[in-house]
Structure 1
Amino acid sequence: MNIRRWARAVRWYLRELTGEAEYDRHCDRHRRHHPLAPVPTRREYEVQRTLHRESHPQSRCC
């Protein structure tokens, strides 16, 4: 059973690290708020996210 817990933790970490979980959360939120609109593909989502980050820069301390 510890192996399953370890494997789940590694899977969760890798999904968070690669951004896969963020895309899944976005799709869930999109389906809730816009049920009739098509869900953007992963590529469309990445383009939208990049454009948003470029047009809304955040200051960083380092």
Structure 2
Amino acid sequence: MNAARGPRAVFRYLRWYLRELTGEAEYDRYRARHLGHHPHAPVLTRREYEVLRTLHRETHPQSRCC
């Protein structure tokens, strides 16, 4: 194994993990899915997507106390 490959692989994995953990990768998945299903429709910007995502989470809570 190349000595430089190990740290790069760890960095790529860590970057992937943090993007998944923070939800940053959601926009990339949304964009790919949207372009696949609706290639001629405009795609939301990242900011517009995040606003809609936040509104959806606030109006549809997944867990509640009591």
Q: Structures share a fold, TM > 0.5?
A: yes
SS at match of 1:31: helix
Alignment match, 2:29: 25
Q: Which of these two proteins has the greater Rg computed from alpha carbons?
A: 2
Instruction: Give the TM-score normalised by structure 1.
Output: 0.80
Q: Partner amino acid for 1:32? A: G
Tell me the percent identity.
72
Moved beyond 4 Å, runs of 4+: none
Alignment match, 2:16: 12
Q: Give the helix-richer structure, 1 or 2.
A: 1
Instruction: Give the TM-score normalised by structure 2.
Output: 0.76
Stretches of structure 1 that go unaligned for 5 or more consecutive residues are none
